[in-house]
Amino acid sequence: QVQLVESGGGLVKPGGSLRLSCAASGFTFIDYHMSWIRQAPGKGLEWVSSISNGGTLKNYADSMKGRFTISRDNAKNSLYLQMNSPRAEDTAVYYCAREVRPYYYSYTMDVWGHGTTVTVSS
Amino acid sequence: QSALTQPPSASGSPGQSVTISCTGTTSDVGGYNYVSWYQQHPGKAPKLMLYEVTKRPSGVPDRFSGSKSGNTASLTVSGLQAEDEADYYCSSYAGSNNLLFGGGTKLTVL
């Protein structure tokens, strides 16, 4: 079945680095744009970043620009988020998610992973 | 860009209808028909309920419907059921490849 499984979360010190991964299965990964969305404890959803199906177009929320890098390896059906210089306010559950239609940005995510928890603390 | 505005809570009795609003600006909700709604139960990942204002993904009951007027989108849940109790989030494309979410609405089935 269609599935996304995140990994790589954990405790990281402010100013450190962490790489999140998302393994996709059950669909043709290369056909779909992908995104990362996060949710701080007890808070709402916040879009982090998106990447086009081929990996060439990358977009970031303003607060993440210059610190986070999204990438994908279509040969491995995997999505990544490199988090550099994280701050306490980056503490959240990070979800990877798939666009609802192939090849098309409608800014709608129809398949979500279970999330991976990132805690930024010294 | 600020988050879209949703009421923090909404409630209704089983069988009743409830409407949740999502207010933005002409730069997001009012400017595009890329408004989506997500349902999230505690400890679970969000689930897509509506997209492009009115479209329902396969498997979502037709008790869930959406609309938009000006800068405000709405989600209506008809024939409330106990399992509808959850947090609901709206989202909208906000131009320049940005996506905004609302702050979320906790729906309580009385």
pLDDT digits (tens, 9 = 90+) for A26-39: 999 999 999 999 99
What pLDDT, on the 0 to 100 scale, is given for residue B42?
96
Distance CA B97, CA B28 (A): 11
pLDDT in tens, B10-48: 999 999 999 999 999 999 999 999 999 999 999 999 999
- pLDDT-derived band at A106 (thresholds 50, 70, 90) equals confident
A94, A36 Cβ separation under 8 angstroms: yes
Taking the CA atoms of chain B, what radius of gyration do you get in angstroms?
Answer: 13
Distance CA B67, CA B76 (A): 8
- Chain B contact for A3, CB < 8 A? no
Structure-token pair, residue B51: 């997209």
The interface residues of chain B toward chain A in range 32-91, judged by CB-CB distance below 8 A, are: 34, 36, 38, 40, 45-48, 51-52, 57, 89, 91
Residue B1 has pLDDT above 70, yes or no: no
Nearest to B45 among A47, A106, A112 (CB): A112
Nearest to B93 among A37, A95, A107 (CB): A107
Distance CA B75, CA B88 (A): 9
What pLDDT, on the 0 to 100 scale, is given for residue B38?
98
A13, B72 Cβ separation under 8 angstroms: no
The interface residues of chain A toward chain B in range 14-53, judged by CB-CB distance below 8 A, are: 35, 37, 44-47, 50
Across the range A42-63, mean pLDDT stands at 95
Neighbours of A88 (CB within 10 A): 10
Residue A4 has pLDDT above 80, yes or no: yes
